[in-house]
Amino acid sequence: MSTLVAALRGAQAPGSVSGRCDMSRASVLIRTATESDVVVLRELWSDVLRPTTREEQLADLRAVLVAAEGDDDCRIVVAEIDGQVVGAVHLRACVVSTLNLEPMVRTFAPHVMPGHHRRGVGSALMEAAAAFAEERGIGIVGAAALSASRDANRFFARLSMGPVATLRLATTTGLRQRLPAVRQSRMSAVPSGRHIDKVLAARRGRRAPRVIS
């Protein structure tokens, strides 16, 4: 984890989360999102929002923006090129896990518009994450990437963010349906009491001293 922090420090623009980073291929303006960004955020994050109507997705995002506005430990950052929003990330100061209470900044859904990949926008969003963590004296920055997304995994790997855990999901009914089958196969793998008695008797027999007459 310290490697991760050092790598991000090396890439960080000084100061706060807002500012202009002159990247080699594009001049990226980083700022905090406002409610006026809700439509473009829906476009950017379409694959991570709940699958429902446009109106409900917009309402969800408005609620997320309002919650972020009133929470110092949460920030939604957007990246602009030439006045157009081309990327965003959701930042939250939290802890590593339910049981590991070490502080961490979780970067959720750093997304860049398809036509703007590989121009430094994603890195600028992660610089904002590093600045957000440093403002709070937080030494760990985490992110989730879809296992199947080569883009995301290469991007994070380049930032020295190695894989730590796999999030596995099932529907509650799916889990409930599979449990008896797992229990059944475990039961059939366990030898019956009578079988164990036979095995133990055979072992005792092998260990017993031989009496030679």
List residues binding ligand COA (CB under 6 A): 109-112, 117-123, 145, 149, 151-152, 154-155, 158
Listed residue (170, 113, 135) closest to 12, CA to CA = 135
Nearer Cβ to ligand COA, position 167 or 208? 167
As measured in angstroms, the least distance from the Cβ of 118 to ligand COA is: 4
Give how far Cα 3 sits from Cα of 8, 136, 140, 196, Å.
9, 19, 10, 52
Least Cβ distance, residue 4 to ligand COA (angstroms) = 14
Question: Furthest-apart CA pair in the chain: how many Å?
Answer: 102
Do 207 and 200 meet the contact criterion of CB atoms below 8 Å apart? no
Considering the complex, what minimum distance in angstroms separates the CB of residue 40 from ligand COA?
Answer: 14
> Least separation, in Å, of the C-beta of 147 and ligand COA?
11
If the CB atoms of residues 106 and 119 are measured against ligand COA, the closer one turns out to be 119
Contacts of 86 (CB under 8 A, 6+ apart): 79, 80, 112, 113, 115, 116, 121
SS (H, E, C) 74-133: EEEEEEEECCEEEEEEEEEEEECCCCCCCEEEEEEEEEECHHHCCCCHHHHHHHHHHHHH
Nearest residue to ligand COA, by Cβ distance, number only: 122
The DSSP-derived string for 30-59 is EEE--GGGHHHHHHHTTTTS-SS-HHHHHH
Q: How far is the CB of 38 from ligand COA (least distance, A)?
A: 19
Nearest distance in Å: CB 21, ligand COA: 10
| CB of 83 or CB of 114, closer to ligand COA | 114
Which residue lies nearer to ligand COA by CB, 122 or 142? Answer: 122
Nearer to ligand COA, 107 or 134 (CB): 107
Rank residues 65 and 106 by Cβ distance to ligand COA and give the closer one.
106
Using an 8 Å Cβ cutoff, are 141 and 102 in contact?
Answer: no
